Amino acid sequence: MTLRITNIQHFSLHDGPGIRTTIFLKGCNLKCPWCANPECISSEIQGEFGYDISLEKLEQEILKDEPFYETGGGVTFSGGEPLLQINNLESLLKSLKNKKINICFETALFVPEKYLKKAKKYSDEFIVDIKIIDPKNCKEVIGGQINQFLNNLKLLDLEKTTFRIPVTKFSLKDTDLILDLLKKYKPKHLEIFELHNLAKSKYEILNKEQYYEKIENNRIKEFHEKLTEIIPNTEIIEI
């Protein structure tokens, strides 16, 4: 069994608790114009972007970092949308679970319910990206059905879940909707981050246009302050 990935990032500090190994899986069913990992959107191998790796080889790579996991770290499956490859991942997840390695998924939750339920059997942590809540914009801008996201959200253990929000004109427009969501679903942690153009060279190689907008600091600060009224430990991060 193999997985299609783009990168294995060792000593990762921003993809879950502790020191982690982050696996970027290839393939996503959304079309977020600000995506920081455009090479992960298509499930096809695109020149230098993407390769197939056996589960045995991937586990060997993960276990190289096992001494660092004593800090409370572990492995994070990101992407792309990692849950799209959950069936191929399952035997590896079983092995990591038997070795008591912390497992985290970073997901947008726009996947069939059965994929999420399978991931829940093995996951210790979830990082859930909150992109757009407004149903019309969600469909037109990123290609998602918000009801699928909301239905999947009900299945999560929020004591093990971090919400992560990119600060865009769409999330700012959805501020009240996001606040209502946070009042109903209070995650253990909330992170927000500003868009960046560090993926510019990737977009150029892929012959794609990168969406970028600069949100003024005072608007980010105001957004952060509103969020902290509900989730006090809301953090502004750089990724």
Which residue range forms the structural domain that includes residue 85? 2-237
80 close to 26: Cβ distance less than 8 angstroms: yes
Residue 208's CATH number: 3.20.20.70
| pLDDT of amino acid 211 | 86
Is the pLDDT reported for residue 89 higher than 80?
A: yes
**Three-state helix/strand/coil letters over 60-111:** HHHHCCHHHHHHCCEEEEECCCHHHHHHHHHHHHHHHHHCCCEEEEEECCCC
Q: Considering its fold, how many domains does the chain have in total?
A: 1
> Residue 212 — very low, low, confident or very high, per pLDDT cuts 50/70/90?
confident
Section 74-95 average pLDDT? 97
Global pTM? 0.95
| pLDDT of amino acid 213 | 86
Bridge partner list, 37: none
> Residue 219 — very low, low, confident or very high, per pLDDT cuts 50/70/90?
very high
CA distance 36 to 187: 24
Per-residue tokens: 145: 């059905």
CA distance 232 to 102: 25
Query: Which amino acid would we find at residue 207?
Result: N
| pLDDT of amino acid 45 | 97
Is the pLDDT reported for residue 239 higher than 80?
A: no
DSSP letter for 174, please. Answer: T
| pLDDT of amino acid 148 | 98
Q: Tens digit of pLDDT for each residue in 101-133?
A: 999 999 999 999 999 999 999 999 999 999 999
DSSP letter for 140, please. Answer: I
CA distance 172 to 222: 10
